[in-house]
Each structure stands twice: as structure tokens, then as C-alpha cells.
Structure 1
Amino acid sequence: MNVSVELTLSPLQDDFEAPIIAFIKTLRASGLTVLENPLSTQVYGPYDQVMKLLNSAVKEAFIDLNQVVLYLKMVKSDRSDYEPHF
């Protein structure tokens, strides 16, 4: 079963860019399909692999940051090839 996950990591601190970049680099290094835009990062792949990645990457980010919010949306399918029809 494949999933698509949209993530937005929001450190609640003045120096927020470095932790976001580190988080995205961790996701990129996974070998899964990772796409980015200015507001979020999407990860696509088999459920077990994506969840294993998220478990470790989110835990690492939460340990490194005192105050942080993570927005996450998940869809049961691989939507990496989605193109708008309008």
C-alpha cells in the first residue's frame, strides 16, 4: 500500500530556517520520492517505509527543538504524479 504525506515543520523560534533545512535533507536522504514547494514537503512511497522514515525524522526534529509544530496530511495512494486538470 502506497501513501502520500504532506509535511510542514514549523519551529517556534527566531532561527527557524536551519532546522527546516536539516529536516528536509533527512527526508531527501531516504531514497523515497520527496517533492518540495515553498509551503510544504511531500513524501511518497510504501506505507511501512514512509512511516519508518517519519518516525525517526520527526523524533529527531522534536528532540532538537524546544517548541515546534508539525502539520501532516496523509492520503492512501501515491499522488506524486498528480497534475491539475484546470
Structure 2
Amino acid sequence: MLKELIEDGMLPVQALKSLVVQKPSISNLDLAIFFTDEFPDVSGEARQVIWRWERPGKRQGIDDDKLNYLLLQLLVDASYISHAEFEKMVMRV
């Protein structure tokens, strides 16, 4: 589900937030595990940055724009999206 949303052009944070809407009690760790399960070739850094994400209810962390940029870069590095797709998506951040 997450993979299809992102591959269809949704920004990673929007896709993660859609999971939070479905299950408000989901933790950042659960989101990180779900993301890396959906994108197994992505660096383990993805788990770290999602875990540090400042979503509603958290006081400190990585903001939405920075998380989008970092996750998109990791998706490019793992060949899930192209550089051209990355550029288009980053323009929306």
C-alpha cells in the first residue's frame, strides 16, 4: 500500500500520514518498519529518520519537508524512483 502510493507520486510523509489516519496509535517505529518492509532495498537510515520524525504529538524531531527529502533521496539511491521523479517530487516539498 505505502509503496503504491509513493510510486504513484504521493510524497512519503503524505503516505505515512495516511497510515496514521487509519491507525492513530501507530508509532514512528512501526511506521519505519512498515516503510522498510515495503522498500527492502532502502538503506537502514530510513528507519532512523522516520523514527526521528516530528509528527503531531511529538515535541521534537525532523520536520515533514526534511523527512520527504531524505526518504526520497534514499528511494533514489535504492533505485525505487528515478532522479527525474525525485526532482519533480522535491519541487512539491
User: TM-score when scaled to structure 2?
Assistant: 0.31
Please give the TM-score of this superposition, normalised by the length of structure 1: 0.33
Structure with larger Rg: 1
- The higher-RCO structure (CA 8 Å, 6+ apart) is 1
Higher strand share: 1
